[in-house]
Amino acid sequence: MATKVIEFDMGHRVPNHKSKCHNFHGHRYKVEAYVKGPVQKDRGQSDAGMVMDFGDIKVIMMKYIHDVYDHGAMYYVLDPIAQESMKTAKALDPDLNINMVDFIPTAENLAKHFYEIIKQKLQPPTKLSAIRVYETPNSWADYWGEKND
């Protein structure tokens, strides 16, 4: 198994949360991707002796996670406060990085979301084993995929 880590900054809101997380706020997210598969045989390839080159994992994670969400905001499409706030914000600045998603943007849901994104970008026999999303240095969620992944 090989693991790659990226970090990015993103705002979100957890509607109906019993504590202060119902407010708009942000985190320095850390995402770890755990990739599994056979170690490549030595056939003169750059990735010989590796499950997957760390640089190749990084390219995928940066393009499809970091570059999409960094310094942006993610909100649940059914959150009426976020809908109204983001509509006004986008009217004032159409270039704002705002991502409306069909799930409440908790660490658990982000882990599943990022898992689904990265899983589709890997070439067999390499597979994604798990994603870990740190919301703070001491709070994280893991997503291990479905049985058939």
pLDDT of the residue at 45: 79
Band of the pLDDT at 50, cuts 50, 70, 90?
confident
Does residue 135 lie within any of the structural domains? yes
62 vs 118: CA distance, rounded Å: 10
Phi then psi for residue 29, to 5 deg, are -80, 145
Inside any domain, residue 68: yes
Structural tokens at position 54: 């760390």
Neighbours of 2 (CB within 10 A): 18
The mean predicted confidence, pLDDT, of the chain is 94
Structure tokens at 52: 């997957």
Domain that holds residue 92: 2-143
**Residue 148 placed within a domain:** no
Q: Give 51-64 pLDDT, tens digit per residue.
A: 999 999 999 999 99
3 state SS of 19 = coil
Q: How many residues does the chain have?
A: 149
Tell me if 67 is assigned to some domain.
yes
Quote the pLDDT of residue 96: 94
Tell me the pLDDT tens digit for each residue of 85-136. Answer: 888 998 999 999 999 999 999 999 999 999 999 999 999 999 999 999 999 9
What domain count does the chain have?
A: 1
pTM of the model: 0.93
Residue 149 lies in a domain: no
CATH label of the domain that carries residue 87: 3.30.479.10
**What does the pLDDT read at residue 57?**
97
